[in-house]
Amino acid sequence: MTLVATHAAGVTREGAGVATLSDVARRAGVSPATASRVINGSSKPVTDELRERVLRAVAELQYVPNAHAQLLARSHRGAVGVIVHDVSDPYFSEITRGLQRVATDQGRLLMICNSYRDPERELEYVELLRGQQVAAIILAGSGYHDAGFTRLLNDKLAAYEATGGRVAVIGRHEHSGDAVMPDNRGGARLLGEEMCRLGHEGIGVVAGPQVLTTTTDRLTGLREALAAHGRELPEHRIRYAEFDRDSGAAATAALLDAEPGLTAIAALNDSMAIGALSLLRSRAVPVPDRISVFGFDDMPIARDVTPALTTVRLPLVEMGSRAMALALDAGGTRPRVESLAAELVRRDSSAQVQGRAHS
């Protein structure tokens, strides 16, 4: 198809308004259906003579094709829409690597939308992707503890699926469909078990936003492990923050100011843990001799900071790959849920509490 550029949005047709498909068909002396086949690149044959007449009319009238109509007219949906919280976050960057790997192998284009953890924007992106008739929509990131939002989201996704679109999610969402589930709860239990093994009792937690299901799952797993060793995690030793470095540093400062006797900081993602390390370094608090620091996710930078970060590894790239594979596999007759295990990675930021034996 020949692409015709317009000089400006809203170019007028002979002073009478924006040109329509019917105007093009009338100018070319063909039916609207024939004009549509030429403009939308239909696989149905059109003679060279008719094609040239239609394209000449498009140029003369400066007709701008409707993108939505073009997509509907094509027999193959080539793009996949992905909604992430923030692709600049290393967690989502790694997941996106996996998504892109499978999409490229299958000749698909990826449309990435950043919601910045704004539920309203997430709903708007679902509508946008539905309007663009993408082959699949993938929601990569935590669900929300918000019943009203969840109901609206599921309604919009159901309407999209009714048109033949496919949906896959990464993480805990209240959507009945294909899902890839990282073991956030089990990974946090591993973290709690490790802190108890090292003899830590004065534990402070830098958690993520309370509205996210990921935060709840990780806190639940951590509490389960501590309870198994007769230890509690009181609310005053938890600070909720955004999943980023600066929020992690601020939350760590608040914990230390309120509880100077803490021997361990468990940050529920690596970005916040790196913020905790920065704050402790600025206060000349030695890690791990005075305080041990633990992270979660095992982002690539976790091994490069000083000291290298003890953390829980989630297979982030594989999570993206599996979600894309599910989204593009139309063979499933019922919802498929794939669970991916977590793994504890011991590095230099954690140590046994001085003067205490291993439990």
Checking if the pLDDT of 13 tops 90, the result is: no
Tell whether the model's pLDDT for residue 12 goes beyond 90: no
Please report which helix (H) or strand (E) contains residue 137, including its range.
strand 136-140
Please, how many CA atoms are within 13 Å of residue 103, restricted to the half-sphere of its CB?
A: 27
Mean pLDDT, the chain, whole residue set = 88
Q: How confident is the model at residue 2 (pLDDT cuts 50, 70, 90)?
A: very low
Coil vs helix vs strand at 66: coil
Q: In this structure, how many other beta carbons lie within 10 angstroms of the beta carbon of residue 204?
A: 25
Q: What is the pLDDT of residue 162?
A: 83
For range 257-276, the mean pLDDT: 97
Query: Using 50, 70 and 90 to split pLDDT, how confident is the model at 286?
Result: very high
Residue percentage of the chain with pLDDT more than 90: 71
The answer to whether 167 and 177 have CB atoms below 8 angstroms apart is yes
The pLDDT assigned to 6 comes to 28
pLDDT exceeding 70 applies to what percent of the chain? 88
Q: What is the pLDDT of residue 67?
A: 58
Domains of the chain (ranges, CATH numbers):
21-73 (1.10.260.40), 79-182+317-328 (3.40.50.2300), 184-313 (3.40.50.2300)
Mean predicted confidence (pLDDT) in 100-121 = 94
Higher-scoring residue by pLDDT: 99, 64: 99
Which pTM does this prediction carry?
0.78
Which SS3 state, helix, strand or coil, does residue 238 take? strand
